[in-house]
Amino acid sequence: MLTALVAGLALNGVAIAQETANQGELARTLETADLSPEAKALVRHKALEAVRLGLAEGEVAELVQRGVDRGFPARELTRLLEVVTEAKRHDLPVGPVLEKVKEGLAKRVPPERIVNAASRMSSELATARDLIRQAEREGVRVAKARQRERAIEAVAEALGQGVPPSEVAKLSRKVAGAAPRAGTMSLLDEGVEIAADLVSMGLSPQDATETVAEGISQGLGQRDLNEREPCPFSTRGSRSPPISSRWASPPRTPPRRSRRGYPRVWASATSSGSARALLASSSAELPRRREPSGSARSSGPDGTNIVFAGMMPEIAASLRSP
């Protein structure tokens, strides 16, 4: 009897400890924070508001801890929490906003710039949500809610890469007009991501979306678009700007996937002639020299070399033909 009682008390103690660990992470973070009681109360109020709106307590506690480690005062901490909370309040995907804040904290960016960058991300997510709603009204099908959220994030990322809303709308209409079984939100998600990748390689937004749209119009589906090999564009002889300079101007989130090539997209665009116009618009009148194995190289406007590699010889030849 005594043994059973002791065992029961031990199990109860473990359960209480686990509950405290699960529910008290934010409290423990604030308890150990180097803040005055008044500052802790201010941060606690905003942090609990974020948790009540649905943010994971662990995520909120981590954000607070990172801010405290950076030595941010309570006023700056609450501003960081507010920009994340505002996104959640407007039912936007909060993950990208939270990651933007964490990125800024990790890079030791001043709080004002972090808030501005996260606010821009929220604005892009709001615009992306409107574009996705319009796409659904025009006939793009959504099988699962997660597909819609992924598409919103992909469109927001594309907007951040410089693809204007009008080009995203054109691409969504192309997807909506695809074969009934092909016109899905997943196809739009993939198409928008590829267009953003192409823009990050140096193509104009219009050329990038037209290239992807051409592939869709020729019947390429999500799997076809996603077929990839080493990227035909790579830069040589260039350096990334310092972190501080990147954050001094509107920061842009890099593509979720590494830069890559899309041979079937390029092949379909080449067959229609749009790839030739695309290439001409991005490297016209630049010095060229022959490269082996069907590759071609151009010097970029900033002195870097843009390498077209891994492309089928006939595609490279078609791109370079007058």
Establish if 127 belongs to a structural domain: yes
> Average pLDDT of 31-38?
90
Establish if 56 belongs to a structural domain: yes
Least confident of 25-29, 105-109, 265-269, 279-283: 279-283
Burial label for 316, CB within 10 Å (0-12, 13-18, 19+), is: buried
Residue 293: per-residue pLDDT: 39
Establish if 233 belongs to a structural domain: no
pLDDT, greater one: 299 or 280: 280
| DSSP string covering 135-188 | HHHTT-B-SSHHHHHHHHHHHHHHHHHT--HHHHHHHHHHHHTS-TTT-BHHHH
Establish if 100 belongs to a structural domain: yes
Confidence grade of residue 295 (pLDDT, cut at 50, 70, 90): very low
Domain count, the chain: 1
> Average pLDDT of 14-25?
52
> Average pLDDT of 4-30?
58
Residue 8: per-residue pLDDT: 52
Establish if 133 belongs to a structural domain: yes
DSSP 216: H
Residue 78: per-residue pLDDT: 95
> Average pLDDT of 3-12?
48
Query: Which tokens hold the place of 57?
Result: 């307590």
Read off the amino acid at residue 291: E
Q: Which domain holds residue 110?
A: 26-137
The winner for highest mean pLDDT among 201-205, 260-264, 272-276, 297-301 is 201-205
Per-residue pLDDT at 6 exceeds 80: no
Read off the amino acid at residue 233: F
Residue 219: per-residue pLDDT: 66
Per-residue pLDDT at 133 exceeds 50: yes
> Average pLDDT of 36-65?
94
Establish if 104 belongs to a structural domain: yes
> Average pLDDT of 69-87?
94
Establish if 290 belongs to a structural domain: no
Confidence grade of residue 81 (pLDDT, cut at 50, 70, 90): very high
In angstroms, the CA 268 to CA 225 distance is 10
Confidence grade of residue 24 (pLDDT, cut at 50, 70, 90): confident
In this prediction, what percent of the chain has a pLDDT beyond 90?
42
Confidence grade of residue 311 (pLDDT, cut at 50, 70, 90): very low
pLDDT in tens, 135-185: 999 999 888 888 999 999 999 999 999 999 999 999 999 888 876 666 788
Confidence grade of residue 216 (pLDDT, cut at 50, 70, 90): confident
Residue with tokens 């473990």: 14
Query: Which tokens hold the place of 138?
Result: 């025009």
Residue 244: per-residue pLDDT: 34
Handedness of CA 129, 184, 260, 300 (dihedral sign): negative
Establish if 65 belongs to a structural domain: yes
Runs of H (alpha helix) within 201-232:
205-217, 222-226
